[in-house]
Structure 1
Amino acid sequence: MPESSGARPEVGDELELEVGDVAHGGVFVARADERVVFVSDAAPGEVVRARITQVKRSFARAVALDVVDRAHEARRAHVWPEADITRDPELRPGGAEFGHLRPDAQRELKRRVVTDALARFGGVTRDVEVASTAGDADGDGTGWRTRVTLHVDEHGTVGPYAARSHRVIPVERLPLAVDAIDALADRHRTARGPGRLEFTAASEGEALVRPVPDRGRATRAGVVRERVGAREFDVDQDGFWQVHRDAAATLVGAVGAAIDPELLDPRAPNLDLYGGVGLLATSFADVGGADVRVETVESARAATEHARRNLAGLPGASAVTARVDRYLEHLGRDSGAAARDAFGRATIVLDPPRSGAGGAVVRSLVELGPAQIVYVACDPVAFARDVGTFRELGYEPGGILAFDLFPSTHHVECVATLRPVR
């Protein structure tokens, strides 16, 4: 075991550290003189030489410089050469924290993170497997991103930011991106800065790039068309859409499978919260037919307008522009006995931002008393905290699924069904 130096670590120190298990955020736990050190670019069980990059009162951060002993059996040359451990940490681009490990090992790490988060923050003992999409089953964790943002510094250099930095790093390729974006970005090695370039590869049409300067007027965002199965969805070029090429279809299928058809009342006031352009609202139709009543709620007006058009073929669907917390407060305040009885038969799907739904939204949902809730989450800790609140208020999780919709990164998507304890 590496010896302790006996001194408090300082920024810039290089230490030999024995790496423990994975932690949320794509880092790994080590210790230096009883202080927790979160190490990036490492793997469990390795002994690494690492440089301290940040020191706080209760923890420090470090980045691995090389593996001294016991290299993890799944370690490989990084899929993004500029992010490899052999490169100076200050010159490594961020956004591919697990690219130095085989995809099967990445999914195992994500399984541990989800399982640990549910136990610690949600009070749920559950071993949740992380599944790949069908298109990634035999892949190497590359070629999946359909949205990429590159930054432009004051010198006109184009590239991603370095990890935990605003330093622009020029790169030869974008291996996590789909081929169309990788090829288009290769033609934009320099640009007028400072600002950013937003790349989009939709299901239909060619890849697009939109310059967004830090000062002055940005190029107006266009509308792109996405196809999911037999359905088409219009979304603004700068609007929200699932990043992985197969994520939209995967989540529509997962949400549809999570909805219990016996609890889905077609006439109840069913809701799709944080609904975007209406993608997950279509799961209701997949389960109960086109006439199932569902209202999608989204705070971005442009997205709501797209949702109305995207859902026009479903007679039971509607879309409103509102903040979810205020919308639910209004329902809870103004609903009479008949409305409350109707909500007791409702199915609610919610796909909140990375920070989670939060206690106020969870409490408002529980007060409505729906028959079932399907929660889609892209952050396991925020998800687990909300699950814990649901449990405290009488809703227990049933099935919990997890999907590796962000290969070579630490991110993972979860889908859970929650039902009231009768």
Structure 2
Amino acid sequence: MANTSPLQPGDEIELEITNIAHGGVSVARHDGRVVFVADAIPGERVRARVTEARKKSFARAVTLEVLEASPDRRPHVWPEAALERDPEERAGGAEFGHIALERQRALKAQVLAESLQRFAGVERDVTVEAAPGDDEANGLGWRSRVRLHVDPETGAVGPYAARSRTIVPVESLPLAVEGVNMIAPLDEPMHHLVSIDLIAPSADDPRMLITAEEDVARAGENDAVRELVGDREFLVRAGGFWQVHREAPEVLFTAVRDAVIALDEAGRVDAGAANLDLFGGAGLLAAAMAEAVGPALKVTTVEADPGATDDAAENLSELVGALAVTARVDRYLADLLAAPAAVRDRFRRSTVVLDPPRSGAGGAVSQQLGELAPANIIYVACDPVALARDTATLLGLGYELGPVRAFDLFPHTHHLEALAVFTRV
């Protein structure tokens, strides 16, 4: 019979790592209880310290020592996050930095496939595609935006420790692009500040956005910066949303464009319909839709942030049929569903692209989309579980899941980006 004595924070235990879980942690069992373990790799045996044991069914732990290493274990790409440091002093943001890139992608593909199967009942093998240049750079030098925090007592600057709010001073930012590293004040005390955002736009000078103790807004966050996607220029607020990986805007632009082209070749796209770009940001994916079907495209991009909507209006100004609307997506869709039937019917021929936040579109928005019944939905997701849950909703509303692609746009972390195409049956 298994020992059912509860684990306590601080306990040190040996564990056989058997699987990967969503969130960048591995899975083990101890006396019948699931233990989620940080800084390990499936197939390893480790000595770990329990950090949380609030429920009898599972606990959380962090690796202290690797007793039997995976062949995919590598020296951590960020010394300040390495196993040799005390877990409370390991920098966060590179939780897969001890794993070979190829294995990282395999683990991410596994999480996505298992999420689709568990939450949506869909069996789908997915390959996580590398972004251009990442293999050659060992997955380093890709972050064009980094947030650092300031210790209120010492003024020291650094990221948070993994899974905590402890600020860890660091000497390097290996995941960041050169422009970010050039301006990072890693060895300077920055008293009276709360945080520092470092951004390096692809077609503009790097800059810092500073939040002082007494401020709500970040200084410089509304400045316009220029980003290049292929030969297309986008204006974006410095503090607004833009993809973090230096290659991500072009990767996703191309993926959405190609998905629309494939739907168009199948006779499913109507350029003159009431096409939508939801959670549209600065208009990147609406522009991809236009490149796929031409300047006659009619598309409304919907975004809750007024600054981003202004940027989208500017970036899509060459498209006569483009409209940028400031609204919460759920409220915008609710208004459409309350409109006369003749208005709603225009959306049955439409293609909808959506790129929601990490929490996903959610059941409410997915339900609204099902009721609106567009011909096609192209869903860009940065969380596999959120995508899987929304997939289950859409499948139940009469949609069929088509191609699914995944992209490794966050090397050395557990995050990935995915694109799923849904068509109304």
Query: TM-score band, normalised by the shorter chain?
Result: over 0.9
Partners of 1:105 and 1:39 in 2: how far apart? 17
Q: Is the 8 A contact 2:157 2:185 kept in 1?
A: no
Q: Is the 8 A contact 1:99 1:141 kept in 2?
A: no
Query: Counterpart in 1 of 2:8?
Result: 10
Q: Paired residue for 2:393, among 389, 394, 399? A: 389
Query: Counterpart in 2 of 1:239?
Result: 240
1:183 Cα deviation after fit: 2.1
Q: Is the 8 A contact 2:193 2:210 kept in 1?
A: no
Partners of 1:131 and 1:193 in 2: how far apart? 42
> What's the CA shift string for 1:273-318, capped at 9, x where partnerless?
0000100001111111012100100000011011101111122211
Scaled by the length of structure 2, the TM-score of the pair is 0.95
Matches within 5 A, 1:73-92: 73-92=71-90
Could you tell me which amino acid in structure 2 is paired with residue 283 of structure 1? A
Q: Secondary structure at the match of 1:280?
A: helix
Q: Secondary structure at the match of 1:281?
A: helix
> What's the CA shift string for 1:88-135, capped at 9, x where partnerless?
111101110100011101000001000000000111100111000122
- The farther-off stretch of 190-199 and 305-314 is 190-199
Query: Counterpart in 2 of 1:141?
Result: 139
Q: Secondary structure at the match of 1:297?
A: strand
> What's the CA shift string for 1:326-382, capped at 9, x where partnerless?
00000011132x323321110000001100111111111111111110000000000
Could you tell me which amino acid in structure 1 is paired with residue 270 of structure 2? D
User: Does 1:328 pair with 2:327?
Assistant: no
User: Does 1:263 pair with 2:268?
Assistant: yes
Give percent identity, aligned residues only: 52
Q: Secondary structure at the match of 1:344?
A: helix
Unaligned runs of 5+ in 1: none
Q: Secondary structure at the match of 1:227?
A: strand
> What's the CA shift string for 1:230-274, capped at 9, x where partnerless?
211111111000000000000011111112112111110000000
User: Does 1:249 pair with 2:250?
Assistant: yes
Partners of 2:103 and 2:137 in 1: how far apart? 13
Q: Is the 8 A contact 2:73 2:99 kept in 1?
A: yes
Could you tell me which amino acid in structure 1 is paired with residue 178 of structure 2? D
Partners of 1:197 and 1:389 in 2: how far apart? 39
**Matched residues, number:** 416
Query: Counterpart in 2 of 1:31?
Result: 29
Cα 1:72–1:105, aligned 2, differ >3 Å: closer, same or farther?
same
The CA RMSD measured in Å over matched residues stands at: 1.3
Q: Is the 8 A contact 2:401 2:420 kept in 1?
A: yes
Partners of 2:105 and 2:190 in 1: how far apart? 37
Matches within 5 A, 1:174-189: 174-186=173-185, 189=188
Partners of 1:187 and 1:80 in 2: how far apart? 14
Runs of 4+ residues over 6 Å off in structure 1 = none
Unaligned runs of 5+ in 2: none
Query: Counterpart in 2 of 1:204?
Result: 203
Partners of 1:193 and 1:105 in 2: how far apart? 42
Query: Counterpart in 2 of 1:122?
Result: 120
Q: Secondary structure at the match of 1:136?
A: coil
Query: Counterpart in 2 of 1:379?
Result: 383
Q: Secondary structure at the match of 1:306?
A: helix
Q: Is the 8 A contact 1:42 1:48 kept in 2?
A: yes
User: Does 1:411 pair with 2:412?
Assistant: no
Query: Counterpart in 2 of 1:99?
Result: 97
1:216 Cα deviation after fit: 3.1
Partners of 2:347 and 2:111 in 1: how far apart? 34
Cα 1:187–1:34, aligned 2, differ >3 Å: closer, same or farther?
closer
Query: Counterpart in 2 of 1:283?
Result: 288
Cα 1:25–1:187, aligned 2, differ >3 Å: closer, same or farther?
closer
Partners of 1:257 and 1:279 in 2: how far apart? 14
1:194 Cα deviation after fit: 4.7
Could you tell me which amino acid in structure 1 is paired with residue 350 of structure 2? A
